[in-house]
Amino acid sequence: MTELKLPIYLDYQATTPLDPRVLSAMMPYFTEKHGNPHSTNHSFGWEAKAGVDVARKQVADLIWAQADEIIFTSGATESNNIAIKGLAYAAYPAKNHIITVATEHTCVLESCRALEKAGFEVTYLPVNTDGLIDTDELSNTITAKTSLVSVMAVNNEIGVIQDLKKIGEICAELQVMFHTDAAQAVGKIPLDMTGLNIDLLSISGHKIYGPKGIGALYRRNDARLRPLALFDGGGQEVGLRSGTLAPALCAGLGAACKIAGNDHDHILALAEKLQLSIIGKLDGVRLNGSETQRYPGNLNFSFEGVKGDLLVKELRNIAISTGSACSTEKPGPSHVLTALGLSKKQIECSIRIGFGRMTTEAEIDYAIEQIIDSVTKIRVRL
Ligand SMILES: Cc1ncc(COP(=O)(O)O)c(C=O)c1O
């Protein structure tokens, strides 16, 4: 049995460890293959471009897309900004309305707020107590003025999976564009661009065992899909994202995509063990979000009477969080748990446990023991 190495990392929604196979794929592009992929006059440029081309195809293959439908960006934040603002501006003034969901990632919500300030109308759909939208309500909210529907695939705080197939069908029927923030979904749940009616999809490298600072935007080949670029420059990435590409980061994202998608059984087994043990051995525990429509590597629990920040501190050897890494600098209750209808008290008593490819059963056993111990200790002190 391998020795348990402390501390244990259980914050996989904030970021994932880099897979060593990804690092190997990146290394040559930091050193000998150092060319600029946009230099067309010599072999250094050709070599770097060849690496980028391979990576582009690897990203496309994972989601059943074409290589020329992939635009490299700095991450899902940038992809979401290009998709939402770029499409909203391209459709304006004929259409001035977009629809999103109250539980989206901050970068989607803030992009929408920026559009509101600029005069657009935005509808923030509510979710039910499971964290899922009502697709009939979505249909009823779409008007002739709606250009875009943006609904995330897997939620970063509670792991629930929205019904992308149904949402895509509605958007196709009512002829509005459908964007999904799939930062927490790509490589974790099957995403097939040939069957889902998704027009735009955002990807993040560091959520799938790839490097930080790289992501991609899938944009379906369709003449109507011409988001306005947010940067001006050399016109790289079909004019949508000017700036020199980073071949090492592209190679890393490509390699991460190539090896993705084989962890499901491992993660499901760990999730079942963790969930059953915690709920079975402690009273007053609630799993937040749908029990069935979920990515298993993200479990968000509320422990009655146990403040999440206290629990996180008590669990010194386990890296977990009370919510999204992107909102840790913004104090206040989680907007996701608020949208689910949890009380302020319940929200304060919530933690997110995230695990994945590198998590071992021994680590989960340790986490179960420590969580049960710490929750019990804190409750005794009350
Ligand atoms: C759902 C979701 N969207 C977008 C992002 C932003 O991704 P990136 O760090 O690649 O900009 C994150 C990261 O926290 C996320 O979880």
Ligand 1 centroid to Cα of residue 288, in Å, is: 20
Q: Whose CA is nearest to atom 12 of ligand 1?
A: 183
Ligand 1 centroid to Cα of residue 82, in Å, is: 14
Does the pLDDT value for residue 325 go beyond 70?
no
Residue 326 catalytic? yes
Residue scoring higher pLDDT (223 or 304):
304
Q: What is the pLDDT of residue 3?
A: 78
CA of 107, closest atom in ligand 1: 4
Q: Is the peptide bond before 20 cis (omega within 30 degrees of 0)?
A: no
User: Mutation test of ligand 1: which of 100, 150, 156 has the most ligand atoms closer than 8 Å to its C-beta?
Assistant: 156
Q: Whose CA is nearest to atom 4 of ligand 1?
A: 76
CA of 155, closest atom in ligand 1: 1
In the predicted model, what is the mean pLDDT of residues 331-337?
A: 88
Q: Please tell me the pTM assigned to this model.
A: 0.96
CA of 215, closest atom in ligand 1: 10
User: Mutation test of ligand 1: which of 326, 329, 335 has the most ligand atoms closer than 8 Å to its C-beta?
Assistant: 326
Please give all residues whose beta carbon lies within 6 A of any atom in ligand 1, as ranges: 75-77, 105, 107, 152, 156, 181, 183-184, 204, 215, 325-326
SS3 of the chain: CCCCCCCEECECCCCCCCCHHHHHHHHHHCCCCCCCCCCCCCHHHHHHHHHHHHHHHHHHHHCCCCHHHEEEECCHHHHHHHHHHHHHHHHCCCCCEEEEECCCCHHHHHHHHHHHHCCCEEEEECCCCCCCCCHHHHHHHCCCCEEEEECCCECCCCCEECCHHHHHHHHHHCCCEEEEECCCCCCCCCCCCCCCCCCEEEEEHHHCCCCCCCEEEEECCCCCCCCCCCCCCCCCCCCCCCCCCCHHHHHHHHHHHHCCCCCHHHHHHHHHHHHHHHHHHCCCEEECCCCCCECCCEEEEEECCCCHHHHHHHCCCEECECCCHHHCCCCCCCHHHHHCCCCHHHHHCEEEEECCCCCCHHHHHHHHHHHHHHHHHHHHHC
What's the chain's average pLDDT? 95
Q: What is the pLDDT of residue 331?
A: 65
Closest among 73, 159, 67 to 356, alpha carbons compared: 159
Ligand 1 centroid to Cα of residue 180, in Å, is: 12
Q: What is the pLDDT of residue 328?
A: 53
Q: What is the pLDDT of residue 382?
A: 74
Q: Which of 250, 257, 326, 349 is catalytic?
A: 326
Q: How confident is the model at residue 111 (pLDDT cuts 50, 70, 90)?
A: very high
Q: What is the pLDDT of residue 153?
A: 98
Q: Whose CA is nearest to atom 11 of ligand 1?
A: 77
- Map out the domains of the chain with their CATH numbers: 8-18+262-381 (3.90.1150.10), 20-258 (3.40.640.10)
In the predicted model, what is the mean pLDDT of residues 25-42?
A: 96
Q: How confident is the model at residue 272 (pLDDT cuts 50, 70, 90)?
A: very high
